[in-house]
Homo-oligomer: A and B are copies of this chain.
Amino acid sequence: MAAMTPEELEAFLAAHFPYLEEGRFRVEEVDDRYLRLRMRCHESHLRPGGTVSGPSLMTLADTATYLVLLAHLGPVAHAVTTSLNISFLRRPAPEDLIAEAHLLRVGARLAVAAVTIFSEGEQDPVAHATVTYSVPPLRWKEKETTEHTE
């Protein structure tokens, strides 16, 4: 079960990222290690030719990872992205985008998610990203670990 509800996640995002347009992101489904996030299509994110810009897709992948990590850990403000890799697969239509984020690993220090992004109503993905976050210090102070993968 997720540590936070969709409403709590959206409220947290609005409180901590006041520069995001209100209502741009909507959490559609959330579980302990999975989150589906909708990003509304808006003229300012369009590239010439009526497609959604690359930076918008990167922002969506990053935000979806942040939220699925919060859904797993509870409200922690200091998680930060350490790396992001994204492959652009198809030109997105000027529609809402849906990100499906799967937490692959939450360790004492790093968390990794795979994020696949679709245009509303399409089956083939428009982008695939792998995003790594640092887990905030408070977590690893509470924890002994002998893990070597991070």
Chain A residues at the B interface, C-beta cutoff of 8 Å: 16-19, 43-49, 51, 53-55, 58-59, 62, 77-78, 80-91, 104-105, 107-110, 112, 114, 116, 124-125, 128, 130, 132, 134, 137, 140, 142-143, 145, 147-150
Judging by beta carbons under 8 Å apart, are B83 and A132 in contact?
A: yes
Of A19, A49, A134, A150, the most chain B CB neighbours within 10 A belong to A150
Judging by beta carbons under 8 Å apart, are B109 and A89 in contact?
A: no
- Per DSSP, are chain A's interface residues mostly helix, strand or loop, or mixed? mixed
Judging by beta carbons under 8 Å apart, are A108 and B145 in contact?
A: yes
Judging by beta carbons under 8 Å apart, are B125 and A104 in contact?
A: yes
CB distance from A99 to the nearest CB of B (A): 14
